Every structure is written in C-alpha cells, then in structure tokens.
A = this chain, B = another copy of it.
Amino acid sequence: MAVASAKQHAVAIPQTGLEARLAIRSGEWTGPTSGIAPGFVQGNLAILPGALASDFMRFCQLNPKPCPVLAVGAPGDWRLPSLAKDLDIRTDLCRYRVFRNGELADEPTDLKKHWRDDLVIFALGCSFSFEDALLQDGIELRHITCGTTVPMYRTSIQTTAAGPFHGPLVVSMRPMKPADAIRAIQITTRFPAVHGAPVHLGMPEQIGIKDVMKPDYGDPPQINKDEIPVFWACGVTPQSVVATVKPEFCITHYPGCMLVTDRKNSEFAIM
C-alpha cells in the first residue's frame, strides 16, 4: 500500500535502504517512507501467527498480482536476509498496526513488546516500485502531482481462496491518456514482483466500481476528459482479506510506513 507522500523532515533524506532502516531504527526518521532511499524496493508488511502462515503463503501464491511475495521469514525470525542484511523487522519500520481478533489494538513505533516466537513475516511488493519506473519514463502519476493518496476500490473480482483467506480484489487507480496507459502496461508488465500489469482499464462498472470518484480507500481522483482510469491490483487486498479473517493476532505496517529493503527496484524488472 502506498498511501502517503514524503513530507519535509529536518533530517537528511536517507539515500539507501540501510540508511533508511538505521534512521528509522534510531527514531531519527519517523515516516512516511515515500521518496526516501530512491530506487530501493519498499514493501508491504504482514506478520501472522505460524498457525495461519501456510494458508496465507498459499493465498499469496494463488493471487500473485495483489500479493506478490518478496520474502517470507522463518517462524519467529525477525530477519529477512534475502531482502536486507542488517534488518530487524521489530524496529525498522516507522510505525506498525497491531490487530487482536481483527480489532486494531495498537499503533506502536516498534514491536519489541509484541513479538512472539511463532510469528512469520511476509514482505509483499508495493506499487512504489512500478511507480518509480513509470515516473522515470515521464508518465504523470496524478496522485503524486496532487499530493494525495492513490484512490483504491474494492472490486467484484474475487481472489482465489486458501484456507480462511478470501475476499474481493482491491485495486488502485491511476488516470492516464490512452497512449500513456499503453506505455504503462508495457512498463509494469516488466515488474511482476510488484503487482505487474494492470488488471483492468476503462469501464469501472465492469469490475463492480459504481462511482470512480468515490474510492473505498485513499483520496478521490482527478480525471481529465482525455484520460481513462487504469486499475492495478493493490497491496491493500491482503490487508483487507486478513481483516476479514479476524486472526487472533496480526501485525501490518502503518499506512505509508513501508519496509525499506536493500534491493533495487531495477532488480525486479524481468527484462
């Protein structure tokens, strides 16, 4: 989920994933993470009890567009060595959300008092990575231009269920001129690990969106007359699905406060 733009901080903007994590760990950087460590992959975070982990992993595998798995931790392990060398998931995000039985219980800045030996970390790809590629190609992203949160919608498209996990696909929307939409499809196709190509364009009603001006999450869009809405599978999907399950315990990142890794966005381009 990419839900906030970088705000001015008095401190220097971290330029690498490691700099970002160290600044966050020390409390020097308090979020959001959009715009920091440019070029480095940021990820959505979900932490689940071991009893639910294998079903959730299977859910992600069945629904790779909304749930592209970047890394899964070993039970109880707070590290993700394939994504970052010096990483402690308990301290390296600016803020977290802790849920008990589906209810928001805490929004701490570290997980030290919440950690359990059976917890499994899931790091999922995030739209920041493909947005970086789109911006580099000169494609305008309206929500960034406007300084708003990308609009997101629950759709009539169902994810493929696994164990208790099921629910509707959530999509994010970026309005574009048709030629830019075609180019954006080409570019995001190169990034299957971070949501990949759009799932839909034009005709919001076909995927159960009654009014594109009234998103379920994020801010209402500004769509110009010469633009069509382009819809990507969104990392809010797994959060929405987990919320439906109401697990006895789970942790996610706080909106806009992502996991910052040592991997470069360009590493995830398949060509």
Complex CA gap A228/B230 in Å reads 13
Chain A, 194-208, contact with B by CB distance < 8 Å: what is the 0/1 string?
000111111100100
Residue from B186, B201, B202 within 8 A of A197 (CB atoms): B186
- What copy number does this chain have within its complex? 2
The answer to whether A206 and B185 have CB atoms under 8 Å apart is no
The answer to whether A202 and B199 have CB atoms under 8 Å apart is no
Residues of B within 8 A of A198 (CB): 182
The answer to whether B197 and A178 have CB atoms under 8 Å apart is no
8 Å CB contacts to B: which residues of A171-214? 177-179, 181-182, 185-186, 189, 197-203, 206
Complex CA gap A201/B181 in Å reads 9
Nearest to A206 among chain B residues (CB) is B226
Interface size on A, residues (CB 8 A): 19
Residues of B within 8 A of A179 (CB): 199-200
The answer to whether A200 and B178 have CB atoms under 8 Å apart is yes
Q: Check A146 for interface membership: any CB of B closer than 8 A.
A: no
Nearest to A204 among chain B residues (CB) is B178
Residue from B181, B189, B201, B203 within 8 A of A186 (CB atoms): B189
Nearest to A226 among chain B residues (CB) is B206
Complex CA gap A166/B200 in Å reads 36
Nearest to A184 among chain B residues (CB) is B185
8 Å CB contacts to B: which residues of A32-89? none
The answer to whether B181 and A203 have CB atoms under 8 Å apart is no
Separation in Å of the A228 CB from the closest CB of chain B? 5
16 new A-B contacts, CB < 8 A, other than A178-B202, A182-B200, A186-B186, are A178-B201, A178-B203, A179-B200, A182-B185, A182-B197, A182-B199, A182-B201, A185-B186, A186-B189, A186-B197, A201-B201, A201-B202, A201-B228, A202-B228, A203-B226, A206-B226
Q: List 25 A-B contacts (CB under 8 A).
A: A177-B206, A178-B200, A178-B201, A178-B203, A178-B206, A181-B201, A182-B185, A182-B198, A182-B199, A182-B200, A182-B201, A185-B185, A185-B186, A186-B186, A186-B189, A186-B197, A189-B189, A201-B202, A201-B228, A202-B202, A202-B228, A203-B226, A203-B228, A206-B226, A271-B271
Q: Which residues of A contact B (CB under 8 A)?
A: 177-179, 181-182, 185-186, 189, 197-203, 206, 226, 228, 271
